[in-house]
Amino acid sequence: MSLQFSRIIGTGSYLPPTVVSNDELAARLAKDGIETSDEWIVSRTGIRQRHLVADGVQTSDLATAAAQRALAAANKTPHDTALLIVATSTPDFIFPSTACTVQAKLGNQGAAAFDVQAVCSGFVYALTTADSFVRAGRARCALVIGAEVFSRILDWRDRGTCVLFGDGAGAVVLEASEQPGIQAAQLHADGSLTNILCVPGNVAHGQVTGDPFLRMDGQAVFKQAVSVLEKSARETVAQAGLTIDQIDWLIPHQANLRILSFLAKKLGCSMDKVVVTVDQHANTSAASVPLALDLAYRDGRIKPGHEVLMQGVGGGFTWGSVVARM
């Protein structure tokens, strides 16, 4: 009996139509006495614009649109999927899961559906989980989505965080295969670093208690991100039986252009091999990796047979990597 693997057979993404440039954002913030500028944001982050949802648009709406595009690319229907995982830190509700809401919007009934919460590492965690289901024979076809509306949890008076994030969704379809697709994966976390990136509030007795906004120690996150991403990249590539030179494309979590540049330098990888979308999308958390994957696949940079290293790093503190042959 042949060993069963999982392969990515379709990608999709969705971005809200409202685009807010740095100049537009600076003008909005200035009304509240918050000073920032395009130069200040670009020099520190590389971000030039972000997409933001309109009132009433939910994470499940973005996720459903991305899922539909991924299914179409894979020539699959919602009924073909036996597993649906949504990676998100901004769910529609406390419960049910956003995955169940997306399942209903897609018209699928009966597939296993659940959310994964690993913040900006969420898609890598979800993809690894789905790969395990497929390899174990628990699901022949799986839909994996990363979707976020981070604009709803930002303190718009804190220029150190509110300029960094955007909204969006990305998705992939996995299918069982005799040929290797997902070749290696590693997931990690260090809960002792919770406080460097978190939303420390909660809902209790009908009220929000604590701080309901995203808080971040930028310097600590930067230092940890570069360190753990380099180590994770080397370990996961080696697990796949490859070298860094054999990786065709690197898709790290799109948090900050400086992080991407430092990571590429440490790995000895040209920036020409790094997919960069943070300038156009800002940090879309769990959506950033599948958004970048879909963009690069659809514009022809990523081709069948290419080796792609995808990486996430975020609150928790969580991180992980996946090597996939497209």
pLDDT digits (tens, 9 = 90+) for 101-130: 999 999 999 999 999 999 999 999 999 999
Catalytic residue (one of 51, 100, 253, 269):
253
pLDDT tier at 3 (50, 70, 90 boundaries)?
low
pLDDT at 1: 44
The answer to whether residue 283 is catalytic is yes
Beta-strand pair 197-198/215-216: antiparallel
The answer to whether residue 141 is catalytic is no
Mean local confidence (pLDDT), 295-314 = 97
Mean local confidence (pLDDT), 31-60 = 96
Query: Distances in Å between the alpha carbon of 70 and those of 73, 92, 249, 294, 298?
Result: 5, 21, 20, 9, 11
pLDDT 10s digits, 190-232? 999 999 999 999 999 999 999 999 999 999 999 999 999 999 9
Domains along the chain?
5-177 (3.40.47.10), 182-325 (3.40.47.10)
Catalytic residue (one of 22, 51, 100, 120):
120
Mean local confidence (pLDDT), 153-171 = 96
Catalytic residue (one of 22, 108, 256, 283):
283
Whether the predicted pLDDT of 2 surpasses 60: no
The answer to whether residue 120 is catalytic is yes
In whole angstroms, give the CA distance from residue 154 to residue 50: 14
pLDDT over 90 percentage in the chain:
98
Whole-prediction pTM value? 0.97
Mean local confidence (pLDDT), 58-68 = 98
